[in-house]
């Protein structure tokens, strides 16, 4: 199991599996080595796992895109479904559905 860390404006970082022990919370004595680091086009608001190697990134500017967890590269294009900031998002686990909402209007898509 790896650890995904989200930094303000810096983007997600993936740490190697060896750092996380399932039996107890780890106490790190040394600075962890990053598996990869990527620059994001806008600050992330949420990171949602979509599968074993795919992460959905929702940004404060209302953008949605997928990241490959192996390489840290964007998979596909950036989408902006509401053209407004996204304040809530939910991935439906039983089907390939994503629900997003904005506090600026009364829409759910």
Q: How many domains does the chain fold into? A: 1
Q: Look-up: residue for tokens 């989408």?
A: 79
> Of 10-19, 26-35, 51-60, 78-87, which has the strongest mean pLDDT?
51-60
pLDDT score for 16? 62
List the domain range (segments joined by +) for residue 49: 3-101
Domain assignment present for residue 107? The answer is no
> Of 3-7, 13-17, 35-39, 69-73, which has the strongest mean pLDDT?
69-73
39 contacts 47 by C-beta, under 8 angstroms:
no
Domain assignment present for residue 96? The answer is yes
Tell me the pLDDT band of 20, cut-offs 50, 70 and 90: low
- 37: domain CATH number? 2.40.128
Tell me: pLDDT of 1 over 50. Answer: no
Token pair for residue 101?
Answer: 């909402």
Q: What angle do CA 60, 91, 10 make, to 5 degrees?
A: 35
pLDDT score for 74? 87
Domain assignment present for residue 106? The answer is no
Neighbouring-strand partners of residue 54? 68
Domain assignment present for residue 58? The answer is yes
Domain assignment present for residue 57? The answer is yes
52 contacts 64 by C-beta, under 8 angstroms:
no
């Amino acid at each position: 199991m790896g650890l995904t860390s989200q930094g303000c404006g810096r983007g997600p970082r993936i740490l190697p599996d060896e750092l996380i022990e399932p039996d107890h919370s780890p106490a790190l004595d040394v600075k962890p080595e990053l598996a990869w680091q990527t620059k994001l086009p806008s600050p992330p608001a949420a990171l949602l796992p979509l599968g074993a190697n795919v992460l959905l990134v929702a940004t404060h500017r209302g953008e949605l895109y997928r990241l490959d967890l192996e390489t840290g590269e964007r998979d596909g294009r950036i989408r902006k479904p509401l053209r407004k900031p996204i304040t809530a998002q939910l991935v439906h686990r039983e089907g390939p559905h994503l629900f997003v909402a904005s506090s600026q209007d009364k829409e759910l898509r």
